[in-house]
Structure 1
Amino acid sequence: MTDTNLHPFTIEVSPLTTPKGHFGWAIRKHGKLLERSDRPHVSEDKAHAQAIAAVERTAHPGTGARR
């Protein structure tokens, strides 16, 4: 799953092998791995939403809540 309006970032959501039925995400900038989820997400949509939030934090540092 990719969003075209996130250039130069790319979001990849994929199923995890463990735990089964959960998803993880990875953010790439110009093809290089920038960040990866550290938690399993129960659905592909929830994983994608968390990845979007991470891109926003990365693209606009200092405007969001502290991590």
Structure 2
Amino acid sequence: MANEVPHPYSIDVSPLLKPEGNFQWAIRRSGKLIERSDRPHRREAKAFESAMEAVERAMKPGADGGPR
């Protein structure tokens, strides 16, 4: 993907079995799961974009999991 995920976060985008052809994402910080998508995404790129938005929210000071 074109966007780089800031360290120490990582994004895993994977296909769903149901509904078939959709994708989900998971965000990890230093290997520990901090958030997972709650809805299917029709395209892998959209799932990644949604995950990047969640990383940006997590990075905000005072956010759960973000630096304080």
TM range (shorter): 0.7 to 0.9
Matched, 1:18 2:15: no
Give me the whole-angstrom Cα distance separating, in 2, the residues matched to 1:28 and 1:6: 11
Matched, 1:34 2:34: yes
Give me the whole-angstrom Cα distance separating, in 2, the residues matched to 1:51 and 1:8: 14
Runs of 4+ in 1 over 2 A off after TM superposition: none
Q: Which residue of 2 aligns with 1:44?
A: 44
Give the TM-score of the pair, scaled to structure 1: 0.83
Worse-matched range after superposition: 32-41 or 5-14: 5-14
Please tell me the residue identity of whatever aligns with 1:52: M
Gap regions ≥5 residues in structure 1: 63-67
Give me the whole-angstrom Cα distance separating, in 2, the residues matched to 1:56 and 1:11: 12
Q: Quote the offset at 1:6 in angstroms.
A: 1.1
Q: Which residue of 1 aligns with 2:55?
A: 55
Give the TM-score of the pair, scaled to structure 2: 0.82
Q: Quote the offset at 1:60 in angstroms.
A: 1.0
CA RMSD of aligned residues (A): 1.7
More helix by share: 1
Query: Sequence identity, in percent?
Result: 57
How many residue pairs were aligned? 61
